[in-house]
Amino acid sequence: MSNKPLHVVILAAGKGRRMRSDLPKVLHQIAGKSLLGHVVDSALELKPAKIHVVVGHGKDLVIDSFAEHACNDRLNWVEQTEQLGTGHAVSQALPFIDSDNKSANVLMLTADVPLIRSSTLSAMVSAMSSSPLALLTALVDDPFGLGRITRDESGAVSGIVEQKDANSEQSKINEINSGIICADLEQLKIWLSQVSSDNVQQEFYLTDVVGLAYAAGNPIAALHPDNNAEVTGINSRLQLSQVERMFQAEQAERLMNDGVTIMDPARIDLRGDIDVGSDSVIDVNVVLQGRVRIGRNVYIAPNCIITDSILADNVTVHANTVIEGSELGAEVNVGPFARLRPGTKLADKVKIGNFVETKNAQLDVGAKVNHLSYVGDATVGRNTNIGAGVITCNYDGANKHKTTIGKDVFVGSNSQLVAPVEIEDGATIGAGSTITAKVEANKLAISRGKQRQIDGWKRPTKAR
Q: In the annotation, is 371 catalytic?
A: yes
The answer to whether the CB of 112 falls within 8 A of the CB of 11 is no
Please say whether the dihedral angle defined by the alpha carbons of residues 297, 303, 309 and 315, taken in this order, is positive or negative.
negative
Q: Which residues lie closer than 8 Å to 13 by C-beta, 6 or more apart?
A: 54, 55, 56, 57, 59, 80, 83, 89
**What's the chain's length in residues?**
464
Strand partners, 262: 282
In sign, the C-alpha dihedral spanning 211, 213, 214, 219 is: negative
DSSP β-ladder status, 50-55 and 75-79? parallel
CB-count exposure of residue 250 (10 Å: 0-12, 13-18, 19+): middle
Measured CA to CA, the distance from residue 440 to residue 307 in angstroms comes to: 38
First and final C-alpha spacing in the chain: 90
- Given 28, 38, 371, 401, which residue is catalytic? 371
Residue 200 CB neighbour total at 10 angstroms? 10
CA distance 277 to 300: 12
Mode of pairing for the β-strands spanning 175-184 and 133-139: antiparallel
- 408 touches 426 (CB < 8 A): yes
* Contact call for residues 294 and 309 (beta carbons, < 8 A): no
CA distance 265 to 269: 9
How many C-beta atoms surround the C-beta of residue 174 within 10 A? 13
Indicate which residues carry an active-site annotation: 371
